Structure 1
């Protein structure tokens, strides 16, 4: 553990944690475990915040609103990523000179092993998980988490030899001292426009990942991801440049610094966007000396995460595919890229649009034999993308209609281009509901046919 001044900033301080849940609880447990005289309090605007029953007895909780007395008397505020720094209450604290950080900043002050960071509008969970698999294949004790899976602070207790962190723009906003062996900015597309003052504001938040990294990896097909000069020791591009594709005997090969590594056809992940993800993961893996053999093994075996173009059911020749992780238009575009079907596509879109613009989907949909099902709070925003869209209130209603009309060779694809929060707790619950309900309605349909 670090023992420098940065790691000692919480000693004997009044620390207020904003927001519970997995991240907030990890912050509380981390601070309490230090046993260095800090007084820890929690504020959560929800009346019954998740994790409240797991709080240590010596940690006070104010639920159901803000407690400005606590907030303005704090020496340090640790805000959960979902709470914007522009929130009036946090702005008031900042104006008083109170330091506001996030869980990743606390992690940065105590971590002793190398760290790799991954950000981007899309693909960061896949690259984070794939890189973790590469490290495991090489026999490295690796912790994989951050904005995915384990909370970063919870992983410190395991004293891993390497940490691979998915980092959201929200987390990067409150992080200033995270030193990394390498970091990547995968891509930039419209997202979270309900929180940022335009795309450039969003981009600048993402670019913070390069502030203290030895190797900056960026997407040469998306120049908005290019690392600023002077903030890193080295810079590599992927998709073009150092990590790219080459042709050999008519076959595409992943290539690292001019050396062919493996055929694209051997990658287990599906979709053109995942070829770029593999190139990025290779660049990051090379930065910490993960053996090429282990990298290739992981790319041959790793099939991806749940809720990301995941086939959950095939019945009567109809595929049901869960891409619930598609929480913005670019993710849905990636799912549709190069899609080839024998029959019709039944595409389910809608939810909480987060202020996004969906017109980029129109030309792609025009090239497909598709029925568009629009549901949820912002389902109406998709209505003009195709002729005769099916407008419903809920995802389940859309699935009912799709189940009645789909034929052999068709695909029912949940790729909503929206967040889930209008009808579901998170995208995982949305995807799990889709998978379970697909099984229910298709089994019911089979029973009804058997009794006719």
Structure 2
């Protein structure tokens, strides 16, 4: 059974033999921590041949539950492992304690923890909060789902950390007793695991710690449209949204909190969704004692994340393409994220949009409505074709289908060349934006979204350099 509370270090002393279920970065990090404590650590993984065997006493396939659990005192579950995995079921029957990697790290960490979750914007808001915190807390760290396992630094003497927490990590963990927390938004995602939006919301809701009068939880009020319970009444719960005491204004860009108004006109990231991310980050920083001057002094220097609406430098391109802006948004793995990215575009803005990958379980209709507004050409590749093609064809706008990303860029180059000729003929001044925002997972053709994004950048430079 999953532990219903965070064990103490003394509890851990009585456990000697551990099984990591699911390797990868978080599993390997947990193994390193446990080995440093003198524990025996085994691994059960679906690809045992790829394991870092130096970390483990034994490495087994995850399809042999009896053998995997023999002599095991505690199981550490990696977040990607499904809850109904046979080894988990057997561990529950044997009453073997089950911990998440995040929970294991929480046993040892003594400082303050800010936790951030939501469907979209988690990584950007985590990185942004970390960036702001460094003014007051220079030894702060960030980790979790953003790519740095919590167990890799949980024993360090750090005053404060920021953790990006996925629904999988939260679902697998008891109350993490966070100092402050945030739920940025909720949209259809991961329903292949959670099944319903209500279940998805309940997993996210585990981030809060409203029973602690010192805790502060910041939530987008739309989140409560999906919860199987009404919005709680609590002094520790703060809403961030239109008409609430925490919100944004545009023209000029400002962030409004209960006590301050922040000038955000020079904040580098564009779009309403990024101002909302900034509002959450500022609220979280205020909750741990940062003042307005320190926060504001950090706003201009945040550079955003790789593969998240990242402009490819025009200096690396042929001067004849100086009026073309290429955007790498490979981190967009669902429709909601992609729609946030293109929210600032209007009909008449020259735009080419590239989609692809493995679509999540979510309705296509909101995108179809937006596509009709923009009337832009659409380029689709990979697994998404068989899922979306029928609905896309019914819209009646230009859409092109390709097996892979190199084929997409070959077609884009032809169309860009024609656009330049037409632009010069009409003496138009508006630039063209080519956005790679796949709105699907990368695993049909790539190991991860980073590899996919790097390939897009390479193809742009090869075709337009």
Normalising by structure 1, report the TM-score: 0.89
**Does the residue aligned with 1:209 lie in a helix, a strand or coil?**
coil
Establish whether residue 379 from structure 1 lines up as the match of residue 385 from structure 2: yes
Instruction: Identify the match of residue 33 of structure 1 among 32, 36, 39.
Output: 36
Partners in 2 of 1:171 and 1:126 — Cα distance? 18
Deviates more, 1:429-438 or 1:66-75: 66-75
CA positional deviation for 1:95:
2.9
Equivalences for residues 227-376 of structure 1 within 5 A = 234-240=236-242, 241-245=244-248, 251-262=252-263, 264-314=264-314, 315=317, 316=321, 317-340=323-346, 344-376=350-382
Taking structure 1 as reference, are residues 208 and 139 closer, same or farther at Cα in structure 2, changes over 3 Å only? closer
Unpaired runs of at least 5, structure 1: 444-452
Partners in 1 of 2:340 and 2:108 — Cα distance? 37
Equivalent position of 1:390 in the other structure: 400
Q: Deviations over 1:109-142 (max 9, x none)?
A: 1110010000000001111001101111224310
Preserved CA contact (<8 Å) 1:348 1:414 = yes
Establish whether residue 6 from structure 1 lines up as the match of residue 8 from structure 2: yes
CA positional deviation for 1:371:
1.1
Preserved CA contact (<8 Å) 1:116 1:182 = yes
CA positional deviation for 1:291:
2.5
CA positional deviation for 1:412:
1.7
Preserved CA contact (<8 Å) 1:108 1:177 = no
CA positional deviation for 1:152:
0.6
Partners in 1 of 2:350 and 2:235 — Cα distance? 50
Q: Deviations over 1:298-349 (max 9, x none)?
A: 2222131011111114441222110011111100110110215875322111
Q: Deviations over 1:53-105 (max 9, x none)?
A: 5x33x622114744432226422111111111122332232233222221101
Cα RMSD (Å): 2.4
Equivalences for residues 206-221 of structure 1 within 5 A = 206-211=204-209, 214-221=215-222
Preserved CA contact (<8 Å) 1:187 1:222 = yes
Preserved CA contact (<8 Å) 2:65 2:90 = no
Deviates more, 1:368-377 or 1:25-34: 368-377
CA positional deviation for 1:203:
1.1
**Does the residue aligned with 2:454 lie in a helix, a strand or coil?**
helix
Equivalences for residues 114-153 of structure 1 within 5 A = 114-153=112-151
Equivalent position of 2:424 in the other structure: none
Preserved CA contact (<8 Å) 1:350 1:382 = no
Aligned residues: 432
Taking structure 1 as reference, are residues 276 and 92 closer, same or farther at Cα in structure 2, changes over 3 Å only? same
Equivalences for residues 56-75 of structure 1 within 5 A = 56=55, 59-63=57-61, 65-71=63-69, 73-75=71-73
Partners in 1 of 2:196 and 2:25 — Cα distance? 29
Partners in 2 of 1:354 and 1:195 — Cα distance? 11
Instruction: Identify the match of residue 415 of structure 2 among 389, 400, 405.
Output: 405
Partners in 2 of 1:307 and 1:66 — Cα distance? 38
Establish whether residue 203 from structure 1 lines up as the match of residue 206 from structure 2: no
**Does the residue aligned with 1:431 lie in a helix, a strand or coil?**
helix
CA positional deviation for 1:17:
0.3
Higher strand share: 1
Partners in 1 of 2:19 and 2:234 — Cα distance? 33
Q: Deviations over 1:251-291 (max 9, x none)?
A: 342111153221x3222211110111111111110111123
Preserved CA contact (<8 Å) 2:19 2:42 = yes
Normalising by structure 2, report the TM-score: 0.87
Instruction: Identify the match of residue 86 of structure 1 among 68, 78, 84.
Output: 84
Partners in 2 of 1:139 and 1:396 — Cα distance? 44
Taking structure 1 as reference, are residues 347 and 326 closer, same or farther at Cα in structure 2, changes over 3 Å only? same
**Does the residue aligned with 1:10 lie in a helix, a strand or coil?**
helix
Preserved CA contact (<8 Å) 1:142 1:163 = yes
Preserved CA contact (<8 Å) 1:133 1:298 = yes
Instruction: Identify the match of residue 94 of structure 2 among 79, 93, 96.
Output: 96
Partners in 2 of 1:353 and 1:47 — Cα distance? 28
Unpaired runs of at least 5, structure 2: 1-5, 421-430
Partners in 1 of 2:208 and 2:277 — Cα distance? 18
Preserved CA contact (<8 Å) 1:216 1:232 = no
CA positional deviation for 1:169:
0.4
**Does the residue aligned with 1:175 lie in a helix, a strand or coil?**
coil
Equivalences for residues 11-22 of structure 1 within 5 A = 11=13, 12-22=15-25
Establish whether residue 429 from structure 1 lines up as the match of residue 435 from structure 2: no
Partners in 2 of 1:80 and 1:120 — Cα distance? 19
CA positional deviation for 1:242:
2.4
Partners in 2 of 1:279 and 1:79 — Cα distance? 33
Instruction: Identify the match of residue 442 of structure 2 among 420, 423, 440.
Output: 420
Deviates more, 1:223-232 or 1:380-389: 223-232
Equivalent position of 1:450 in the other structure: none
Taking structure 1 as reference, are residues 5 and 83 closer, same or farther at Cα in structure 2, changes over 3 Å only? closer
Deviates more, 1:222-231 or 1:293-302: 222-231
CA positional deviation for 1:225:
7.7
